[in-house]
Structure 1
Amino acid sequence: MAPLDANRNPLAAQREFCENLRMLCSYYRSVADVCRKLNINRAQFNRYLNGTSKPSNHTLERICDFFGVEPAEIYLPREHFQQIVKVRPRHKPERSVVGEHIERLQQQSHGRFDKYLGYYYEYYQSMSSRGKVLRGLVHLFMQDGAVYYERYERFPSNATFDGTSKSKYLGVAFYLNDRIFLIDYETLSGNEMVQIVLFPSYKNKVARLSGLMLGVASSHERSIGCARVVFEFLGKSIDFRKALRLCGIFDPKAAKIDPSIVKAIDNSPQKAQHHFHNIPL
């Protein structure tokens, strides 16, 4: 262990070590991140932080080298140690590159989603069941100042709630330059991502939103497809289980799907269009 001042109480010095180590960890994303970079067991590192265990000389040197301090310094009174750390060049706090971009886009979306939060039915031509319409359930919600969403899809439409096959997608939403962008991934298998771009509603109350969806079929071919999609607003709160039971795969000619929705999600090419476009409802 690093030599301590003979006049100092060893218990007091150990408390200073714990405080100083916590302060050094605060410059990183998390304690877990520090442990991964140091290749130190998280439980053991926690014992260093709470003072129930002391690192060996070798481990102490590794920790101090990582943070750019001397072993003797980390036992200094925390006010003195903080002054040393402030004036000494150190590694900048590491931030996720992806996280920085996501945060920037979320800031641009701030305050734009208020009227869109709630539950929706989504409708689009199924990419796996040709000629059928898929009705899914979407929940758009705010958490910690950002907007996220969950999508649920259910197969087949006449299965019991507990026995049916379901897919769940988790994603993040952005409102950028008068368009709504949604991107998610399928949580059970983790092998699929979907992007949806919607036109906003220019009315005070949201009824339906239309746009395009890009994804892959869940069948073994995993073909890539783009489909027109409609979101139908259900409300801020709903009977979730009842709404989910009404999801599934449907024949577009059946009366279970509004004909105006069937028409809006028709993927037939439009005249004089060289790309696959959609128009707001």
Structure 2
Amino acid sequence: MPHGQFKELVRLKPQGVGIEIDKNVIMFEAEKVIQDSRSKLDAYAGYYFSYYNSMSNPGKILKSLTKIYRTPFSMNIKTLEVIGEQNHDGFTCKYEGACFTLGDRLFITAMETLTRNEAIQIILYPSYTNRIRYLSGVMSGVAAHASRPPTATQIVLQFLGTNVDIRKSLGLCGLLLPGDDRIPADVQRMISGDLREGTHLLEAAPI
């Protein structure tokens, strides 16, 4: 093909077509993974207490209320965090997102919907028993203070059931000191932050 004709064909090619195709492929694959995961995640539907080392208040543990629930299109998650100590003023963070499985791990991607300035990624071990008690994993996100450093910590979800008293459960949430009796001893162990010996890797604690 003569150079001039080829140049004209390139010039006439609609701008952004390649980008649009790439976007559509990625969206299709993501939606397929999410929809295919729903039946695998039905057993995980319900309410949980989530525990992790606070990214914004080092040395304290944040306990929050999480719900995993099914929709016609996906298995979703909603988490309410009460940032503050009991009997003190604080503020609330609300995360909403999707759950899916890849391999034999549970993945959660969620965004803080009140400020819309943070997303979190959680990867969990699945439950290896019919009765779910704890789910252990690692969470990455951004600390809320001014420098906003990207941070990762161990996280544990404690299954509560499919029906709970939400007001009472939220009353048990907040920023807690290590050793607080609202943190089960098993949970305290699983979020101790220990690195695997001989490495610089932070791993989820085995159940």
TM-score in same-fold range (> 0.5)? yes
SS at match of 1:255: coil
SS at match of 1:158: coil
**Contact 1:194/1:214 (<8 A) preserved:** yes
Distance 2:38 2:169 in 1: 29
**Contact 2:82/2:173 (<8 A) preserved:** yes
AA at the equivalent of 2:71:
Q
1:268 alignment counterpart: 194
1:203 aligns with 2:129: yes
List runs of 5+ in structure 1 lacking aligned partners: 1-93
1:259 aligns with 2:146: no
CA shift in 2, pair 1:103/1:225, >3 Å:
same
AA at the equivalent of 1:209:
L
Q: TM-score, normalised by structure 1?
A: 0.63
Distance 1:190 1:221 in 2: 17
2:168 alignment counterpart: 242
AA at the equivalent of 1:141:
Y
1:259 deviates by 2.0
1:130 alignment counterpart: 58
1:116 aligns with 2:44: yes
**Contact 2:46/2:159 (<8 A) preserved:** yes
1:164 deviates by 4.0
Identity fraction in percent:
34
**Where do residues 1-281 of structure 1 align in structure 2 (5 Å cutoff)?**
97=24, 98-159=26-87, 164-281=90-207
1:110 deviates by 3.3
Higher relative contact order (CA 8 A, sep 6+): 2
Per-residue CA distance 1:105-145 (angstroms, 9 max, x = gap): 12331310111000000001101111101101110000014
**Contact 1:153/1:166 (<8 A) preserved:** yes
Distance 1:279 1:262 in 2: 11
Larger Rg: 1
**Contact 2:46/2:162 (<8 A) preserved:** yes
Q: How many equivalent pairs are there?
A: 186
SS at match of 1:215: strand
Distance 2:38 2:176 in 1: 37
Distance 1:274 1:220 in 2: 26
Which has the larger share of strand? 2
Which has the larger share of helix? 1
Distance 2:180 2:106 in 1: 30
Distance 1:223 1:203 in 2: 36
SS at match of 1:148: strand
Distance 1:170 1:110 in 2: 17
